[in-house]
Amino acid sequence: MKKQILDYSDTAWATQGISCTLSFAPFLDWLQKRMAEEPTVKSHFYQMVLDRFEAVPSIREDIPLSAIYEHAELLEWMYACLTKPLTPERKTMWALWVPVQPLMFYGTDAFYDLIQLHKIDLRHRTPEDFRREQLQMVYSYILKKLYHFHPRQNEFYHAYLNPATGLLQYYTIHINADFIDVTPKGALPELDLTKLNHLLQEGAGYEVLETMLPLQLFHFRGISVSTITDVTAQHALDNLRQVRLKRSQSDPEESYHHVIRSLKTLVRNNHIQFDLFPLFQVNGKYVYGYEVGGTGILYAVWGDRTLNPQEFQTLTAGYAANPQSFFSRDVQKESLDKRAWLAHFVKEGVRSLVAMPVFFADTLVGTFCMYTQGDEQFDERTFALLETAMPSIGQILKVFIEEFNLEIEDIVREKYTSIQPAVQWKFREAAWQHLYHTKKQLPHVPYKIQFNDLHPLYGAVDIRNSSVERNKAIIADLNIHLDLLSSTLGGLQPLQHSPLMEQMLYTIQKWKQVLTQEVLTTADEANINHFLEATVSAWLDHLTTQQPACRSIVGDYRQQVAQENSPVTANRRALETSMQMINNSISNYLDAGNVQLQHEYPCYFEKFRTDGVEYDCYIGQSIAPDKPFDTFYLKSVRLWQLTSMGTIARLTRSLLSDMPLPMLTTQLIFVHDKTIDISFRADERRFDVEGAYNIRYQMIKKRVDKVHIRDTGERLTKPDTLAIIYFNRSDLEDYLPSLQYLKETGVFLPDHEELELEDLQGVSGLRALRIGIAY
């Protein structure tokens, strides 16, 4: 054990004015409580420790930091009480601190070494981050102790670069405040805990409490205990599980290298190389894909530089029919007569090699390779470190395959599907220009497909609270799944009772507590699913192998989970069914409306499916140069826009009785009375607005769907209404007569609201009409 004061305070964590004192008293109270609760012989140990403390006069009084080492023996007894007895001190990272102050004064050698020798970043990244962490720790304790409010806390990772491996190692620092008492210096301020909980759930930091509950109002007394846990392996696994969520077509290479770095971190050896080879299929036949990054050694062996397409297809089909693993500590000593395919690895100087098939959902998705070069070698124990990562590797290869399939589908859709008839003539002109220059071997001059002076119309039908309902459905289904699993494990306990069974049941209860928060983060959802789909599944496989009597119960559980109408997906199925009913109805109606519009005057009409359906419509002379354009066509389209919103609202409401989960829609129109230009972007294969002024129109469209009414906090859009957003009253010149007509014919209610809207980023002066829809 080491006695040394380390001060980590700085200007970012201003401790001036915060009242705190060192004292053993809270720890002694904890000892007395543990003695009363502990039914085993441990109570005698706690009594012995308590006697040693109380043998010191005035031990419950405050202790200056300068005098703390006069009680060095008592500090060691604290260590003995609060750490695992079977773990040696050299492997335990444990320390004592002044309460709520970054002043460490006692701890294990391992703790001091990690901080001082390896320079673990206790401030995480910046002094501001360090300050936020401290505020979270202190205020969480105050809220828990004095307000009986238990906010959810974020876990912070800290890292250092291991010079021996050249790889990052990750740690979590846990602060135990059980041995600190906090008391208000005066009357305890009142807090609106509901409002505070809402602020924290919305992402507000604990800095919001600095004005509500200044730390100077409290006195802290006791000793803070911290432990450091090496979570490098867990962090690497988490990184692998997040690859699917973080992958982006804009930077797939970086995602791939992220995978490789995580695998190297798992085996803690920077000299070991990895490669992944996804198996792609087109029309049920294996085809070359592409190098997805990394060393590319598998692609060099089985790619188009070595095999022709027929050879590749034959070889891969044979491999898929009988996938086998290969391991050798020294490839150089293997017989090439028996395994000719090793020749390339030998040529590349490979020493140790693992090549194995990878499966996802019992389907072969690719091959995984782990190898070294030169004198570096590894054995089976090193490879065993990757066992927990194999499900994630299978999922990542599945991602590569899905992205490949999407690329194929995108090319088919973008290259080979028909263009909207209203603008097809323009593309024919562009194609002719391209063909003419090609045949004449002339320099290609870019042909710009652009339409000028178009009147834009934008409408959006959104499913209200779809994100909230989706979160509720996921939580409800996970609760059902956890209950089913808990019941299954309860049935297995008489057949196979073990500490691991108790751990599984405990983990289930922990996750159920997380679900009671009613807000499930993406990371929590991924972690729960990994627990259910990987951890539990692997353990049940092991259980049925060891205890055949368990197979019936496990089989019944798996059948309930896997069946098409499984209860563990009932709520999500209900949500998706309801959303599909709404979106399909809206989409079909708009498709029919588009046909009607094209008959009146050709226009460019494009709809987008989100949590609802949005559409853009552009109409003007440049789209149909051979048909004279008149403003009456624009008036007609605007009348259709108003009528369609009323019809869509009634249509979606009529579906309520058939929806498994009733959901309502909101309707919105954004009026832009100035003409704009659009052009076809060949690199993105779509039309987009042209020019800075027109881009502003696009920017406003993306921001108005969740706009609030000024000074109220109320969302503009709400069910059973149509919101019409505009800038100037003159913008509504065509809409107001049509709106009056539709009121009188029973499409809308007689009255409407005229509202001012909050300023958006870069947008001010918005106004709106909100009209009730008649049913």
pLDDT at 62: 93
Number of structural domains (the chain) is 4
Mean pLDDT by 10 residues, the chain (775 residues): 83 65 94 90 90 92 93 93 87 90 89 72 58 81 86 66 70 85 89 83 76 88 89 74 56 69 84 88 78 72 81 89 91 87 88 92 90 90 84 84 76 55 75 66 77 93 91 92 92 86 91 85 88 90 88 92 91 94 94 91 89 92 92 94 96 94 95 88 70 76 89 93 93 92 94 92 89 93
pLDDT at 11: 47
**346 within domain boundaries:** yes
**190 within domain boundaries:** yes
For residue 513, count other CB atoms closer than 10 A to its CB: 9
274 and 362 both lie in a single domain:
yes
pLDDT at 254: 66
pLDDT at 124: 43
**443 within domain boundaries:** no
73 and 202 both lie in a single domain:
yes
481 and 614 both lie in a single domain:
no
54 and 181 both lie in a single domain:
yes
544 and 654 both lie in a single domain:
no
Domain membership of residue 477 as a residue range: 466-564
676 and 734 both lie in a single domain:
yes
**441 within domain boundaries:** no
Q: Please, which residues have CB within 8 angstroms of residue 417's CB and are 6 or more apart in sequence? A: none
Domain end call among 230, 265, 300:
230
238 and 219 both lie in a single domain:
no
CATH assignment of the domain containing 389 = 3.30.450.40
167 and 113 both lie in a single domain:
yes
| Residues in a beta bridge with 282 | 285
Give me 251's structure tokens: 């930077």
Residue type at position 741: Y
**429 within domain boundaries:** no
**Structure confidence by residue, pLDDT tens digits, 705-719:** 889 999 998 999 999
pTM of the model: 0.47
Euclidean distance between CA atoms 371 and 351, whole angstroms = 7
215 and 298 both lie in a single domain:
no
pLDDT at 138: 85
Which CB contacts under 8 angstroms, 24+ apart, belong to 472-477?
472/518, 472/571, 473/571, 473/572, 473/574, 473/575, 473/661, 474/520, 474/525, 474/571, 474/572, 475/515, 475/518, 475/520, 476/571, 477/568, 477/569, 477/570, 477/571, 477/572
**Structure confidence by residue, pLDDT tens digits, 82-121:** 998 888 888 898 999 999 888 899 999 988 888 776 555 5
Domain end call among 398, 413, 436:
398
583 and 542 both lie in a single domain:
no
pLDDT at 300: 82
